[in-house]
Chains A and B, each alone.
Chain A
Amino acid sequence: MDDFWFEFVEITQSVGDGFLFGSTYALIGIGFTLIFGAMGKLNIAYAATAIAGAYSSLAVFMLFDVSLVIIFIVSAICSAILGYLVYLACFRFIPVHNHLAALMASVGGLFFIDEGIVHATRGSPLNFPSMFSEAYFEVGPYGIRGDLLFVFFIGLISTGVLLYVLFRTRLGLATRAVAQQDVAARLCGMSIHSTNSTTFAVAGLLGGIAGAMTAAAVGILSPVMMLPLTIKGLIVTVIGGLGSIPGAIIAGLFVGSFENVVMYFRGIDERDMYVVALLFIFLVFRPNGLFGKTITRD
């Protein structure tokens, strides 16, 4: 009974940590979702821009001593600019209906950003200031990381802002219009390109926050984080249902806690296998993900 109680605490603890950590996956997932929703295309370079944003904010931080809030803002802005550049380089001038070329170009973008970071830092892991890492609340048998809580709330806030922008502002209206019927939207005199580029920038903002959050939560930045984060982000996007923001959020939090539980019971070598298996289960039983809607066109 006693050790059962203990186990219970440990498991719920792991779930909790994973849940909080999942918010970083969620943000990456949202980024993929936004761009997919707007253009029906996959921007593989997205997670890379996120991390790159965090890197550039770190550079700023090292040059002049600024507060952590600034770091987040800088990271967001840098990543937004990068996002826009990625749009220009990999999407803007490629024929709209040529998805393969765009996908490939964004892969090239990923390689470039990744190697660029390596070039600038020699691939060395860099210390990232973790905000109030001392704040570690002991709630009964549980321990809650203050910074992860903070990360989680930042995630919630930015998502809230995003949803507001998307459903309450003209930009959001345009984005959604373009997403649903780009021809019609064009006829209504909207410029696809400007809408798309704003979408990339907005997604970039979010990515920058995600990048800074991940870096803050881990405490370091290193190029080896990029690929795993990309893959997790994609998995989250699909489980959430391509194009669904709430789906991406819930999937992110879910995957986060799920992998922690697997880690707790089955260990590191099986963790990712189970996550992948989870994806397969979704594809078989819910091919359109949590909130994905079946698009039927004839």
Chain B
Amino acid sequence: MIRKGVEKMNKFTKLAGIAVLAVTVAMPLAASAGDRSVKVLGWGAKSGPLKSFGVNSEAALRSAIAQINAAGGVKLGDGSSAPLEVVSYEDSACKKDQNIAILRKTASTTDAIVGMGATCSGSCQAMFGVLQKKIGDASDSGVQMPILSDTCIRPGLAKISEWAFRNVPNEVAMYDQLFAWLRSENPGVKTFSGGTETDQGHSFITHTAIIVQAAVRHGFEWVGPSVPELGPDVKQGMKELQAAAKTQHWLMGDTNYSVQVRKIKKQDPDMILVSSHPFSACGFLKEMKRQKVNQKLLVGLTSSASQETLNGCMSAAEGLIIPTGFAPITPEAVSANEIVSKAGGFLDLHSAAAWENAYLVKTAVEKAGISATSDTVAEDRRKFRDALASISGTAGLIGPVTRDGATGEASKPYVYVQVVNGEWKVIHDPR
């Protein structure tokens, strides 16, 4: 198990080196190409504990755009074609004020027609709040800048502003499907319980409002602390559940999970939910292993379907099932995966979305027919935004993505992956 870890580590370092090269080479290329270029600006967490998010997304975005440019760039309004250019990829450190700073910087000091960020749902929530809420609302002095995000996954964020768009999986459908499938696959599994990290908005809300209800919906029986209000509908009994199950929840930075695990073990569920980021998910899983909890099924949060989980607790995570918006199952996905890992990143559900976003931008630009000159930036942004809103579907890496212009949300295909022998394996493909 350690051995694998070693290889992984060494691979990181190699790839990191290549990444630096790739980026340094890519930048001048993008700059020099043609007199006109369609500018985009990206940002994410490139420092702080969530560094990997930013690094992976940047690698994906840059490689995808390089690929697009290699294939001739994008068509402009006047029929000519121009390359896409990543003005820069900023580090927002997952901080609200820095995200807002970068947004305003992008909007006011660059010709970028779309901002592609950012890591951390809380930061996005703040950032979206700075945007103009309704298009063309003169009384609203919010920033008018289209944002296309790959990582702000907390439910229902894009509705904050009509300028905000996301390309994140629809977790409600994703988990609904997951438990329907698990139900049919494992008739023996009846009861379930589990916990989440209460200081991370996304994990917390997804667990208590979506995942648990979805499990209930498909006939699994909640054996945690009794919550009579719990029901099959999204958010049904959410507050009661949050209150009742607080003694089996944890925090992202926790080091001791003995009480939580003991409580869950005592309930002896067939299926255990660990709705948490790798940092604490690993701690929790390891504690479960120590206390020899013997569940039949182990279900995780989509954010944990990443390399970090394997780095953290390969063996303890064995058998962990997670629905995710990405897996190298289609030719496109496989090749994208190779390209991005050459660029020093890993393709997971977030960075894959970043890759898709590059192509989404291409489609929207060509639909909008922008002129990409420095004096038409404002109207280009507006055109781009409307085009983006009008797109009802694109080809994602693992299948068609349908978009809803009104809410700015996407509904992506997804697959179910499981940790098998220390690797992510696709165990079911509902597409």
Contact = CB atoms under 8 A, between A and B. Distances in A.
Task: Indicate whether A and B are direct neighbours in the complex (CB within 8 Å).
Answer: yes
Contact of A224 (B253, B292, B311): B253
A10 interface: yes
B256 A260 contact: yes
Nearest to A62: B6
A127 B290 contact: no
A267 B246 contact: yes
B249 A268 contact: yes
Secondary structure at chain A's binding surface: helix, strand, loop or mixed? helix
A10 B313 contact: no
B259 A14 contact: yes
B252 A224 contact: yes
Interface string B290-318: 11100000000000000110011110100
A129 interface: yes
A17 B259 contact: yes
Query: Counting chain B CB atoms within 10 Å of each CB, which of A61, A218, A229, A264 scores highest?
Result: A218
Interface string A208-222: 000000100111101
A122 B266 CA distance: 37
A138 to B, nearest CB: 10
A264 to B, nearest CB: 5
B282 interface: yes
A260 B49 CA distance: 26
Nearest to B195: A268
Interface stretch (B50-58, B67-75, B104-112, B176-184): B50-58
Contacts of A272: 251
A228 interface: yes
Contacts of B287: 219
B258 A268 contact: no
Interface in A243-260: 256, 260
B311 A125 contact: yes
Contacts of A62: 2, 5-6, 9
B47 interface: yes
Nearest to B281: A125
A127 B259 contact: no
Given A127-B311, A130-B286, A133-B290, A267 B258 contact: no
Query: Counting chain B CB atoms within 10 Å of each CB, which of A115, A126, A270 scores highest?
Result: A126
A136 B261 CA distance: 14
Contact of B254 (A14, A126, A219, A228): A228
Query: Counting chain A CB atoms within 10 Å of each CB, which of B49, B247, B260 scores highest?
Result: B49
A142 B1 CA distance: 30
Given A124-B308, A217-B255, A268 B290 contact: no
Contacts of A40: none
Interface in B43-95: 47-52, 55
A65 B1 CA distance: 12
A89 interface: no
A136 B265 CA distance: 15
B262 interface: yes
B258 A260 contact: yes
A266 interface: yes
B278 interface: yes
A223 interface: yes
B255 A214 contact: yes
B255 A263 contact: no
B249 to A, nearest CB: 5
Q: How large is the interface on A (under 10, 10 to 19, 20 to 34, 35 or more residues)?
A: 35 or more
A286 B167 CA distance: 55
A192 B15 CA distance: 47
Contacts of A291: none
Contact of A115 (B47, B266, B314): B47
B258 A14 contact: yes
Nearest to B6: A62
Interface string A11-23: 0011001100100
A219 B50 contact: no
B239 interface: no
Given A118-B49, A129-B2, A225 B253 contact: yes
Contacts of B5: 62, 126-127
A179 to B, nearest CB: 31
Contacts of A263: 247, 259-260
A213 to B, nearest CB: 10
Given A10-B262, A14-B258, A126 B312 contact: yes
A143 interface: yes
B49 A219 contact: no
Given A123-B52, A125-B308, A218 B247 contact: no
Nearest to A10: B262
Given A123-B51, A225-B253, A227-B253, A61 B289 contact: no
B240 to A, nearest CB: 14
A269 interface: yes
A264 B246 CA distance: 10
Interface string A23-65: 0100000000000000000000000000000000000011101
B247 A220 contact: no
A265 B290 contact: no
Contacts of A21: 255-256, 258
A264 B263 CA distance: 9
Contacts of B55: 122
A127 B255 contact: no
Nearest to B10: A62
A32 to B, nearest CB: 17
Contacts of A13: 262
A226 to B, nearest CB: 8
Contacts of A126: 5, 311-312
Interface in B1-24: 1-2, 5-6, 9, 12
A124 B312 contact: yes
A29 to B, nearest CB: 15
Interface in A109-158: 115, 118-119, 122-127, 129-130, 133, 136, 143, 145, 147
Interface of A: 10, 13-14, 17-18, 21, 24, 61-63, 65, 115, 118-119, 122-127, 129-130, 133, 136, 143, 145, 147, 214, 217-220, 222-225, 227-229, 256, 260, 263-270, 272
What 7 pairs between A and B have smallest CB-CB spacing?
A267-B246, A219-B286, A125-B312, A17-B258, A123-B51, A123-B49, A228-B253
14 contacts: A14-B258, A62-B2, A115-B48, A118-B51, A122-B52, A123-B51, A125-B278, A143-B291, A220-B286, A224-B279, A260-B258, A268-B247, A268-B249, A269-B198
